[in-house]
Amino acid sequence: MGGDFAPVNEIEGALLAALEKTNELEVYVVGKTNTINEILKKKNSQPDNLFVVNADDVISMEDSPLDSYKSKPNSSLNVSLGLQKDKEVDAVISIGNTGAVLAHSVLRLGRIEGINRPTIGAMFPAPDGNIMVFDVGASVDCRANHLYEYALMGSIFFSHIFNVKNPKVGLLNIGEEKTKGNELTVEAYKLLENSKLNFIGNIEGRDILFGKADIVVCDGFLGNVLLKFAESILGILKARFRTHSEKNIFNKVWVGMMYGTLKKILADFDYQYHGGVPLLGINGVCIIGHGKSTPLAVKNMIFRAMEVVKKDVNKKIQEGLSVNS
Amino acid sequence: MGGDFAPVNEIEGALLAALEKTNELEVYVVGKTNTINEILKKKNSQPDNLFVVNADDVISMEDSPLDSYKSKPNSSLNVSLGLQKDKEVDAVISIGNTGAVLAHSVLRLGRIEGINRPTIGAMFPAPDGNIMVFDVGASVDCRANHLYEYALMGSIFFSHIFNVKNPKVGLLNIGEEKTKGNELTVEAYKLLENSKLNFIGNIEGRDILFGKADIVVCDGFLGNVLLKFAESILGILKARFRTHSEKNIFNKVWVGMMYGTLKKILADFDYQYHGGVPLLGINGVCIIGHGKSTPLAVKNMIFRAMEVVKKDVNKKIQEGLSVNS
């Protein structure tokens, strides 16, 4: 019930997923039953593997993540996590208040043993392959061992979901040398260097989009600012082309002709393109998406969650913790 | 002597500046006299307002900023700063090792009274007007009062150089609410809110390039990563267009036709476009530029330095300190 167009896009996405994977997927749509059933009725479609579960409370973008845990016990988020806690479902996806998803997941499902800080990873634009940044906002004041945990969880997620053996881990810094940076990165460098991860050293801001590392590790404050900055690039380019096209009719026609090529070349700058991102480190599976996610994006998030469950990423994180420590 | 094409681009830029402002400018070219004179001879031009000063040592990009202060006392950087210290020149510009420029300037010229941390500001891409980010690397571990100093110095520089009354100051954060962020930003918010600056509150990564604030304030680690990330965008776009054009002859022709429009629309994404950036908070005037600066960029840095001197920005910073505190 938390997305910008809730619950329409959530339901349409759930329908797409349920219809595409009839035999291997059960989708539970959690929220106000009346509203959900009305939409399903209009769609004239309720596949056998789609179930509706009632939840009367709605967490808004303005709600405090922590307060809403107590004040809205019957939120769609909390009821969904309850289903996962009770092993009725294997994963939860949400396009609502990210802070609430994070806080409620930790409170309701707990953390993986040995993990101090769960992390949210994000996909960055990459024409071929994938680039992920950890953390993009789960924690804002980090210590070095948290960065190490992000690198470990990110590597395991990345290698299993994208089938890349030993993905390259880069520590986001202001210079390449080992001694560069602030207290946090100097300390984190040592931990990463002594781990069994495929640590390629420090990388700089300019290296990210060129894919120097598969996994970029930084504190959640920096990652969050950077993610939002990166997400703004497409809008900035669009606005500039619009301004240019409005100058005269020739420009208008010309920009119109360029549009298709630009759209193709910059497709992955559209955050819709990547679907959801994982919340790693909790005792469960949770995929988080943009509030504006389209039904297609919601469907892809569900499939991503299926993959994380099937490949038992959490178990592999636990194994990784013991191997690397 | 420190730029990537030193000392050719430095000398050519100095010549351009000296020839353009015969009556109001004296340019001192500091470095190995023999090399400089050879180049000037080839150019067949030595205007009356251009002087050559010898300095035998060269600081490379690899030199430690602090060590080079002692080990290379006759570097072009140090000799230049000495000229400023002795009031023989009003300003120094450099396209060499930024860390060395920062460290040597502070050691040689000292800080403005009341300023704890000098700051380096950077221009971010903006089609109309200007967007500046402070700090982009002078300090990596900041306290809240440092962010406040950056905001103050940035505002004064911005208002006098770009003739904008009360430029808007935004605190770079992960959410708009006053309580959002890490310890540093929560504390800095209070200082900025209670100052006489035109503080518009927190801004997020996505707001920067849309020009929500004129001056974006953040710690130097974040600012440095963000600057390098922003500088990489043009290269990323170029690489993508290149890959696209190499697919077939039709694409090649088509991308070729688009090139002019793209170049025009994205001109300010090229960091050459902005010339140099100021090092603020030192007892003197220092403009820093990219190692790859063209002669034109060097010329513009010299003119920027002239403006900072003429408008007595440092005096205004001192006045601002007493008004705002």
Give the burial class of A274: count Cβ atoms within 10 A of its Cβ; 0-12 exposed, 13-18 middle, 19 or more buried.
buried
Instruction: Say yes or no: A232 contacts chain B, CB-CB below 8 A.
Output: yes
Do A141 and A211 belong to one domain?
yes
Strands B92-94 and B50-54: unpaired
- Residue A231, pLDDT > 80, answer yes
Single-letter amino acid, residue B155:
S
Q: Which residue has the tokens 């490379």?
A: B60
Q: Is residue B90 part of a domain?
A: yes
The alpha carbon of A119 is separated from its chain's Cα centroid by a whole number of angstroms, namely 10
Q: With an 8 Å Cβ cutoff, are B244 and A261 in contact? A: yes
> Are residues A139 and A264 located together in one domain of the fold?
yes
Residue B260 resides in a domain:
no
**Residues A213, A126 contacting (CB under 8 angstroms):** no
- Are both A154 and A209 inside the same structural domain? yes
- CA gap A233, B235 in Å, rounded: 14
B285 lies in the same domain as B221: no
- Give the integer Cα–Cα distance in Å for A58 and A266: 35
Best probe of the A interface among B64, B140, B180, B245, by most A CBs < 10 A, is B140
Contact residues, chain B, for A233 at CB < 8 Å: 209, 233
- Euclidean distance between CA atoms B133 and B172, whole angstroms: 9
Residue A193 lies in a domain: yes
Q: Which two tokens stand for residue A269?
A: 């700058």
Confidence of residue A325 (pLDDT cuts 50, 70, 90): low
A66 touches chain B (CB under 8 A): no
**Closest chain B CA to residue A227:** B205
Please state, in angstroms and rounded to a whole number, the distance separating the CA atoms of residues B153 and B156. Answer: 5
Q: Which residue type does A277 have?
A: V
Domain assignment present for residue A314? The answer is: no
B253 within some domain: no
The tally of domains found in chain A comes to 2
A274: closest CA among A231, A225, A317, A223?
A231
Domain membership of residue A313 (yes or no) is no
The H helix count followed by the E strand count for chain A is: 11, 10
Nearby residues of A43 by Cβ (< 8 Å), 6 or more positions away:
A11, A12, A15
Minimum-distance CB partner of A233 among B228, B233, B254: B233
pLDDT digit string (tens) for A22-42?
999 999 999 999 999 999 999
Alpha-carbon separation of residue B173 from A23, A140, A235 (angstroms) = 45, 10, 20
Residue B2: which of B298, B311, B212, B224 has the closest Cα? Answer: B298
Residues B104, B108: Cα–Cα separation, whole Å: 6
Same domain assignment for residues A73 and A130: no
Q: Given CB atoms, is B183 within the 8 Å cutoff of chain A? A: yes
What are the residue ranges in chain B where pLDDT is below 70?
A: 324-325
Do B13 and B111 fall within a single domain? Answer: yes
Same domain, A79 and A188: no
- Name the residue in chain A with its Cα closest to that of B238: A265
Residues 6+ away with beta carbon under 8 Å from B285: B84, B90, B91, B92, B278, B305, B308, B309, B313, B314
Q: Return the pLDDT at A129.
A: 86
Residue A206 has pLDDT above 70, yes or no: yes
Residue type, B29: V
Question: Does an H or E element contain B279, and which?
Answer: strand B277-280
B98 and B1 share one domain: yes
Contact B232 A208 (CB under 8 A): yes
Strands A169-172 and A215-217: parallel
Q: From the candidates A131, A222, A250, A292, which should be mutated to test the interface with B, based on the most B CB atoms within 10 A?
A: A222
Contacts of B109 (CB under 8 A, 6+ apart): B81, B84, B85, B282, B283, B284, B286
Structure letter (DSSP) for residue B206:
G
Which chain A residues in 248-277 lie under 8 Å from chain B, judged by CB atoms? 254-255, 258, 261, 264-266
Take residue B325 and report the two structure tokens written for it. 């505190």
Q: Which residues, in sequence order, are bridge partners of residue B51? A: B28
Say if residue B232 is in the same domain as residue B290.
no
Strand partners for A54: A31
Judge whether A17 and A305 are in contact, CB under 8 Å.
no
User: A104 by DSSP, 3-state: which?
Assistant: helix
Check CB contact of A41 with chain B, cutoff 8 Å: no
CA distance A225 to B207: 10
* Environment class of A94 (CB within 10 Å of its CB; exposed 0-12, middle 13-18, buried 19+): buried
Residues of B in contact with A239 (CB under 8 A): 210
The 10s digit of each residue's pLDDT in B150-184 is 999 999 999 999 999 999 999 999 999 888 899 99
Cβ of B37: how many Cβ atoms within 10 Å?
A: 14
> Of A238, A262, A279, which closes a domain?
A279
Residue that has been written with the tokens 């404050």 in this structure: A221
Q: What CATH number corresponds to the domain at position A62?
A: 3.40.718.10
Please indicate, yes or no, if residue A322 is contained in any of the structural domains.
Answer: no
CB < 8 Å to A232, chain B: 205-210
Task: Give B 192-221 residues with CB within 8 A of chain A.
Answer: 204-210, 218, 220-221
Place of tokens 């004040």: A71
Per-residue model confidence as pLDDT tens digits over A282-297: 999 999 998 889 999 9
Quick check: A275 pLDDT over 80?
A: no
Check whether residue A261 and residue A127 sit in a common domain: yes
Residue A303 Cα, gap to closest chain B Cα (Å): 28
Give residue B325's pLDDT: 60
User: B261 and A243 in contact by Cβ < 8 A?
Assistant: no
Range of the domain at A109: 1-115+281-307
Are the C-beta atoms of residues A305 and A299 closer than 8 Å to each other?
A: no
Among B215, B240, B265, which residue terminates a domain?
Answer: B240
Task: Return the structure tokens found at B101.
Answer: 């420029």
Q: Is residue A23 part of a domain?
A: yes
Q: Could you give the CA distance from residue B149 to residue B147 in angstroms, rounded to a whole number?
A: 5
Q: Which residue is closest to B171 within chain A, CA to CA?
A: A225
Is the confidence at residue A273, as pLDDT, over 80? no
Average pLDDT over residues A195-221: 97
Alpha-carbon span A155 to A307, nearest angstrom: 16
Statement to judge: residues A259 and A176 lie in one domain: yes
A residues 136-175 closer than 8 Å to B (CB): 137, 140-141, 172-174
pTM: 0.93
Pairwise CB contact (< 8 Å): B174 & A222: no
| B243 vs A17: CA distance, rounded Å | 34
Last residue within a domain, chosen from B208, B240, B272: B240
How would you classify the pairing of strands A286-288 and A277-280? antiparallel
Q: How far is A235 from chain B (nearest CA, A)?
A: 9
Cross-chain Cβ contact A204/B127 below 8 Å: no
Residue A197, both tokens: 């991860």
> Following DSSP, what letter does each residue of B256-290 receive, concatenated?
HHHHHHHHHHTGGGSGGGG--EEEESBSS-EEE--
Q: d(Cα A188, Cα A178) in Å, to the nearest integer?
A: 10
Are residues A205 and A262 both part of a single domain? yes
| Tokens found for residue B229 | 């990330």
The contacts of residue B238 (CB under 8 Å, 6+ apart) are none
pLDDT at B260: 85
